[in-house]
Amino acid sequence: MEKLMRDFFLFLSTNRMMTRFAKKYGSSFGASRFVAGETIDEAVQVIKELNGKGLDVTIDYLGEFVDNEKEANEMADQTIEAINAIGREKLNSQLSLKLTSMGLDISEKVVMENMRRILKEAEKNQVFVTIDMENYSRCQKTLDIFKKLRTESENIGTVIQSYLYRSEQDIMDLNNYSASLRLVKGAYKESSEVAYPNKADVDKNLKKIIENHLQNGNYTAVASHDDAIIEHTKKYVKENNIPNSQFEFQMLYGIRPERQIELAEEGYTMRVYVPYGTDWYGYFMRRIAERPANAAFILKGIFKK
């Protein structure tokens, strides 16, 4: 039953009509649990609160289904505005973005021009940029662009998803770029031809790629709410004398906030992924898909209104 619900919400996450409706309607019916408002000013207040609790942040201006150059350029402008806000407010925050929102599905020229604009501002403000990974069909394109940009800037990282069969090889390839990577399980619906269908295999592969990337001496962001993964990482770094400065934990805004504070108090870098913006629908549906029990919370919020 849980798998059926997960597949249902992942299907909804790709529905363009629902995306347009949600943009128009607003995020008031529950998304505020996972999304830090619709404007950069609202997001800045959330970041300040998190920083005050000893938590680091990475901020993401949400956007999906960008299919024209004008909109991609506007997304890049909004991202640059976020970078400048981080610098101006002296926030402890990095920045995350999706290449589709920068024009990946339009042309390489558009996405590269926008990414170079963004990285220029990020360098000025000393803001690290992580390229989020999207679905499998965009994986190789994303890595190809990351590699090009990595040769131009040290201020950029990307994401590897453990549910893909290819991920262990990708870790090996990216070692040539001394890549800073966020390692995650993955949140898209993929065919069993390219991704592990069983959770146990996804978890096992995540542990393996965490170990490989740490042993390669590269910075590793372990992005998981799973205590088994967190405890495995703690044990592995201790047994292999890997300093805390080489890795961090990451969790999503609105999920396990008490655990986030616990990890920070234990002396680990704990970074919270904080999304904001009006284009929240796809992100929101994927969060529900990860834990369908969240759907009850949402429905309760809707019927209260």
Annotated active-site residue 286? The verdict is: no
Q: Are 231 and 259 in contact (CB under 8 A)?
A: no
Note the helical H segments in the chain: 2-13, 16-25, 40-52, 69-89, 108-125, 139-150, 167-174, 199-215, 227-239, 257-265, 281-290, 294-304
**Among residues 60, 132, 203, 279, which one is catalytic?**
132
Tokens found for residue 141: 């394109």
132 is catalytic: yes
Q: Which of 6, 150, 182, 271 is catalytic?
A: 182
Show Cβ contacts of residue 179 under 8 Å, excluding neighbours closer than 6 positions.
146, 150, 157, 158, 218
3-state DSSP assignment of residue 240: coil
| Paired tokens of 86 | 């981080």
How far apart, in Å, are the Cα atoms of 217 and each of 16, 131, 179, 220, 263?
41, 20, 10, 9, 22
CA gap 227, 154 in Å, rounded: 31
Token pair 């994986």 is found at 139
DSSP 32: G
Catalytic residues: 132, 182
